[in-house]
Structure formats: C-alpha cells, structure tokens
Amino acid sequence: MNTKEKLKKILIEDLNLEELTPEDIDDNAPLFGEGLGLDSLDAVELVVIIQKHFGIEIKNMEEGREAFRSVEALAAYVDQRLATT
Amino acid sequence: MQIAVQGIGVVGCFGAGVAKMRQALLTGAVSPAAFDLPGCGTPLAISAFRADTSSLADFVPLKALRRIDNFSRLGLLGAYLALQDAGVPAAEKQERLGVVIASGYGATGSTFAFLDSFINDGDICASPTYFANSVHNSAAAYISIMLGATGPSSTVSQFHHSVPSALQTACLWLAEGRVDRVLFGAIEELSELIGYAWHRQRGRADIPEMTPLLTGAESAIPGEGAAFLLLTRREESQGGYCLLDRVITGRHLKPGFLPSPLDLLVLGADGRIEKGGDYAKLAKKATVACFTSLYGSMPGSPAFDIAIAALMLKEGKTFDSPGSAVCDFPATVATGGESLKGCCVSCLSLSDDDGFGLINLSKG
C-alpha cells in the first residue's frame, strides 16, 4: 500500500468519515472547506494522526498549511520527511 | 407541581422506539449476546444487552455524526425519538427546552480512549475529539446543538442515584419556569472498560438470563441504552402518557413509606445478589413488576422503568415481568394484560449505599 492509499484509509478511520471510501477521495481535492470538508479541529487531529502513524512531528505552521492542501500534497510531504530521517 | 410525560424515546437491546419496547414487553423476548473484550489480553467475552444506534441516521446525516461518540449517539437517538413520540418536529427550534442527562458511568469509551492516547503515544498525540467527548456534559451539549435547544443543560452523575437526582433537577426547572419543556434522559454505554470491570467485579460470563425476582442468586447481566422523556408542566400538557407526581430520594427506606398495595410497584431489581434481599423485603405484600431483563443491569435503568410505567398508565394495563417464572419474593407479581387496579405506578431503585429513589406516576 503506497502512502496515498494508507493516508486515505487513516483519514477515513481516524476522522470517522463513515460515508466515504478511499476511492471517493480525490488525490488533489482540498482537504479543508470544499473537497473533503475538514475543519480546524480536524487540522489538530491531522497533526496528531501524522505523528502517531508516521512518527512525523509537524511543528511549523507554514509547513503544515502546505502539506494539508490535499492527499497528494500530504503524501509527498510524508514521503519526503521519511526519506530525510 | 405535577409534571406531565409527553413523549418517550428509548433505545436498548430490544431496539429503538416505544413500539419496539412495547413489542419486547409483550413477547418478553430479548436475549443478551456475547460481548467480546479483545483488549483484556486473554480471549474474554461476557453476556451483555447491547444497543444499536444505526437508526440515528434517520434523523441526522452521517456526516454530522462523525465527531459524536457512541455515548452521545445513544442520547441523541433517545432525544429525537422522544420528540417524535410527542409529535414535536425536530426541525422546530426549541427555544425554551432544557436538557437534563443522568448517567452512572458516563462516556467511558471516549474518556478512556483519551487517556489511552496519552499512555500509548504520549501527551502530544492526545486526540482533541476524544477530549471533547470525554467532557461529562458533552452529550447534553450535542443534543442541545442538534435540536437548537437554547435552554439550560445539565448532566448528573451519582451512580445509582443519577436518575432520581436528575429528574428532580428537571422538575425544578419546570416549577421555576426556567423552561417550558425538558428533555430528560438516562444514558449508559457499555464500553470495553465497563465490560472488563464488570467481569472483574462480578466474575460470571455464562449467565443465560436474568432472574431479578430471585434472592440469593447472582443473575445480573450488564446493559446499555438510553431512555428519554419529554416533560412539561401539567397545565401545558396535551395528551401524553401520565403525570409525574413525586420524586423522592433518601436512605433506609421503610416499607410503610411505599404507596398503597393496590398500586403497582416497579422494582429496579436487576439480579445483583447484594440487592435482591432488600428489594424482596421492601416489596413484601406489594403488587410488583420488574422489567430489567429487557434491557440489563445499569445505573440508568430507573429511566427505563419510568418509561414502561408511563406506557402502562397510558394503556391502563400491566405487562408480564420477564424472568419472573423463577421468583421467591413475598409479593404478588402482576400478570400481563391485567387492568391496573390503582391509579398510580411507582418505580423503586435501590443503591449499594442503602439509598433509594422512589418515583410516583399517576394517570392524572
């Protein structure tokens, strides 16, 4: 399972997106607002989820904002951080 | 002040809604199922009466429920069903509606998931959603938000005294004129932690059925669910079920304090061996009924008893007490389908600390 698929599965399970399947999530759709419809509380949950599942701590707000644009961006961020540690 | 019961919303092992509860009362057919406790290290399962909240999707879109935990879902479903039963449109903004919740255990699933997240992953990984759901008034808050109820909300947790104490709060709000209606409800969730604690404390996993009217034998099976009542002041009531005359709490109840022997006494006896003898002693010479075998043993069970008592008063007849074929109480057990002899039904619950709750209901 690649990082994108793993992320989609984790998002559905940990954010209780019960009505969605991984196939329903567009790689490039925005995670917040339109698209997946996540909100500010989910942003905090996402930071926790990334740390818990990948051991990556997001300390920088700007870094997080860029990574949380879409599943595609988040997967690229995770892969890049894992490659440099 | 007399309070009127306008609507009932119940969720338990018997299903969701008054019709499902009534069906279970008529057939007596509710069976516990195995409740697996995978987090206990060794394979372990106990018998339990579990409740299903999937019909909540009939009232709220799934997306709106995603942050709401099982405990609050039980409460929300009970609340929506009580409004529906009273003919109150849920879409209508409930401006002078108060919400009072009673729970002996509280939201243990979320509370301990939140604590586990500290232990397993460190405090930096504590989930904000688990935290929000572990706050003890969160179920009342979700109900108020979803229904647009702008009256006060409160949650009372006094273990076996939770239901009568919370009911006293609800009656006080109505008497003071703080609100025009109160959604009162008891919620109990059977989390894995409660299941494990139950197993450690009571130890039996193989009890096939509850025999609550038998002293000297442990037959308690844990349950979960929610029982809600929509309450109004008598003068503002329309139709509905019955009147709530008095809620009395105290210690060391004497048999003489109980209502007339003509009136039906619904016992909260639930197969806990340590309380069976006390119920038997107090019920001496009374006409009794007991329905705990339909929803299980839990601190919030008196709210189910009130719901059933209200239904009996509305229909003017009794229901059979499931599990009463085995009975050694020195009391007359009411037979199902009989007309209620008196005009009152009282619900009695006893706590482990010699406390009691006595709730008197009448036809009005």
pLDDT 10s digits, B4-20: 999 999 999 999 999 99
Cβ contact, residue pair B63, A15, below 8 Å: no
What pLDDT, on the 0 to 100 scale, is given for residue B85? 97
Q: pLDDT tens digits, residue range B133-151?
A: 888 899 999 999 999 999 9
Q: How far A52 CA lies from chain B's nearest CA (Å)?
A: 7
3-state secondary structure of B84: helix
Find residue B102's DSSP bridge partners: B156, B186
Nearest beta carbon to residue A51 from set B67, B125, B129:
B125
Dihedral Cα B213, B25, B229, B65, nearest 10 deg: 110
Distance CA B307, CA B328 (A): 26
Residue B154 has pLDDT above 90, yes or no: yes
Contact with chain A for residue B91, Cβ under 8 A: no
CB atoms within 10 A of CB A84: 6
- Fold designation for A3-84: 1.10.1200
- A-chain residue closest to B128, CA distance: A45
**What's the CATH architecture for B3-362?**
3-Layer(aba) Sandwich (3.40)
Cβ contact, residue pair A19, B126, below 8 Å: no
| Contact (Cβ atoms closer than 8 angstroms) between residue B295 and residue B49 | yes
The sign one gets for the Cα dihedral B199, B204, B209, B211 is negative
* Maximum distance among all Cα pairs of chain A, rounded to whole angstroms: 35
What average pLDDT does this structure show over B85-97?
Answer: 88
What pLDDT, on the 0 to 100 scale, is given for residue B93? 79
Q: Which of B12-16, B101-105, B227-231, B328-332 has the lowest mean pLDDT?
A: B328-332
Contact with chain B for residue A65, Cβ under 8 A: no
A-B contacts at Cβ under 8 angstroms: 29
Residue B297 has pLDDT above 70, yes or no: yes
Domain boundaries, given as residue ranges, for chain B: 3-362
Q: Which of B88-92, B287-291, B345-349 has the lowest mean pLDDT?
A: B88-92
Contact with chain B for residue A41, Cβ under 8 A: yes
What pLDDT, on the 0 to 100 scale, is given for residue B94? 85
Cβ contacts of A40 within 8 Å, gap of 6 or more: none
Cβ contact, residue pair B128, A15, below 8 Å: no
**Reported confidence tier of residue B254, pLDDT bands at 50, 70, 90:** confident
Mutation target for A interface from B53, B56, B65, B67: give the one with most A CBs within 10 A.
B67
The top-scoring range by mean pLDDT among B197-201, B236-240, B312-316 is: B312-316
> Higher pLDDT residue, B185 or B203?
B185
What pLDDT, on the 0 to 100 scale, is given for residue A67? 92
Cβ contacts of A52 within 8 Å, gap of 6 or more: B121, B125
| Contact (Cβ atoms closer than 8 angstroms) between residue B125 and residue A52 | yes
DSSP code of residue B107 = S
Cβ contact, residue pair A45, B127, below 8 Å: yes
Q: pLDDT tens digits, residue range A28-55?
A: 999 998 888 898 889 989 999 999 899 9
Q: pLDDT tens digits, residue range B25-62?
A: 999 889 999 999 987 778 889 999 999 999 999 999 88
Cβ contact, residue pair A52, B125, below 8 Å: yes
| Contact (Cβ atoms closer than 8 angstroms) between residue A68 and residue A59 | no
Contact with chain A for residue B119, Cβ under 8 A: no
Residue B69 has pLDDT above 80, yes or no: yes
Contacts of A52 in chain B (CB under 8 A): 121, 125
SS3 content of chain B, % helix, strand, coil (to 5): 35, 25, 40
Q: How far A73 CA lies from chain B's nearest CA (Å)?
A: 22
Q: Which amino acid is at B33?
A: A
Q: What is the interface pTM, i.e. ipTM, of the complex?
A: 0.77
Cβ contact, residue pair A41, B67, below 8 Å: yes
| Contact (Cβ atoms closer than 8 angstroms) between residue B347 and residue B266 | yes
What pLDDT, on the 0 to 100 scale, is given for residue B205? 63
Cβ contact, residue pair B67, A16, below 8 Å: yes
DSSP B240-283: -SEEEEEEEEEES--GGGS--TTSEEEE---S-HHHHHHHHHHT
Distance CA B269, CA B22 (A): 20
The sign one gets for the Cα dihedral B132, B133, B136, B140 is positive
What average pLDDT does this structure show over B199-215?
Answer: 85
Domain boundaries, given as residue ranges, for chain A: 3-84
